[in-house]
Structure formats: C-alpha cells, structure tokens
Amino acid sequence: TTIYQEIQAAKMANKKLLAILLDPDKIVLESLDSLIVKINQSPATHVFIGGSQVESNILDDLIIRIKQNCVLPIVLFPGHPSQISNHADGILFLSLLSGRNPDYLIEHHIKAAPILKKTQLEIISTGYILIESGCETAVERISQTRPLDRNNPELVLHTAQAGEMLGSQLIYLEAGSGAKQAVPLKMIAFVAKNIQIPLLVGGGIITLEAIEKAYQSGADLVVIGTAFEKDADFFNAQIKL
C-alpha cells in the first residue's frame, strides 16, 4: 500500500494521524540518534522533512540516518526543487493555492518534474493554503505571497475545493511554522465538512489539547514542528493521545 492509501484508509476509519516536521537546517546531527528515540516513543505516524534552505547532500545523509532506526514513512515537505531526496518515501507536491506567485503555483513544479521522474518517490499532490496567523511567517516571506484572511472561511473553502477539483489528493491548511495563531477550529471544521479528500493542518499547534481540538474539528493529520523541536519530550511529558 502507498502512503496516500494509508492516509485515506485512516480517514475512513476515523483514525487520526500525526506528523513530526523536522527542519534539516535546525537538526544537530550529533543529537540525531536521541531525537529518533523520541520520535519512536511519540504517537507520530509520519515524519515530514523540510526547511527553507536545504542542501540536498545534507538531506540525503539525514534521511539515511533516520531510516536506519525509524520505521515511519518519511515524507518530503519541500520549499524548493533542490530539496528532493530519493532516500525518502514520498513527497508532498505542494501548490501554494492561497498565493499568486507563479513560482509556487507551477514553475518550481516544472523544474522538479524531471528530477522526480528519476526517483522512486511517491508523489502526493497537495493543495497548500496559507492562513493569516498574526505575524509574517517564513512561508509568507519566502514565497512572497499573502496568506488568506483568517476571518473568511468561505474563501478558504473555495480555494480548497478548487484544489480538489484540480486533482489535489490532500489539502493542507497552514498557519506557518511558529505561528502565533493556529488555523481557526471553525475554519478546519468548515473545510473538512465540505471536501472529500484528507485534510492536513499545521502551524502554531503547541499543546496536546490543541492537537485534539484540531482532530475533533475534522483534521485528519496534524503537523507538529516547533513544539517538538523545542522539547523532544513534548509528547511524553503530556497525556498520551
């Protein structure tokens, strides 16, 4: 079975999924083994790997080392076509549907296509929607796009539905890494109810309670970056999911 089939099966069974996002720029290779132990002890079902500036040779080594001791699927979450490694299992092929920068809608994808054709990576088409979160985030700065108004759920839904109609396999509602405000729960619920494909939510989720509320609102998979990066005992220190 593919990564995508497993996500779909989990959605059907109402089994919630959790991805830990690792930023290769911030990982200290010396402490990688203990970090992998923490990932294995956590309730995570997926490892996402991505960052703003990544050298692919670092990426290869990092993924090889993670795969030695971690059985979770490794999914690339790239910011740029240079961030592709054939050692991962899959890649979120993101189109930034909230923005109007052609590079992030299609241009990078055209550059990535011949590279991806030479890999075994499972390619998962993902409609990526950036939601306003209180301050400028890295996604906004690097993509040079504006996030969608957090008080306009209709526009967010229509964007997600257009992505679904264009063939996205997943919708990812993103507040941005380290966001002050996560995606509003009502917005998660409104979008989840009105699309058929699995819904990913991330950015600014820093408590187990917030993860649980995102699930209850309809998120199928929650992405945790900063909270785990700051405290590798984040999941253990609190009540198990």
Binding site for ligand 1GP (CB under 6 A): 21, 174, 177-179, 202-205, 223-227
CB 66 to ligand 1GP: min, Å = 18
Q: Which residues neighbour 175 within 8 Å (Cβ) at sequence distance 6 or greater?
A: 130, 131, 133, 137, 181, 182, 183, 202, 203, 204
154 annotated as a binding-site residue: no
When the beta carbons of 190 and 228 are compared against ligand 1GP, the nearer one is 228
Query: Which C-beta is closer to ligand 1GP: that of 43 or that of 120?
Result: 43
Residue 113: how many other CB atoms lie within 10 Å: 12
> Which is nearer to ligand 1GP, 5 or 53 (by Cβ)?
53
Residue nearest to ligand 1GP (CB): 202
163 is in an annotated binding site: no
Any known ligand binding at 143? no
> One-letter amino acid identity for 220?
D
Tell whether 176 is in a known binding site. Answer: yes
Burial of 230 (0-12, 13-18, 19+ CB in 10 A): exposed
Beta carbons of 158 and 139 less than 8 angstroms apart: no
Which residues make up each annotated binding site for sn-glycerol 1-phosphate? 172-178, 203-204, 225-226
Task: Specify binding-site residues for Mg(2+).
Answer: 23, 52
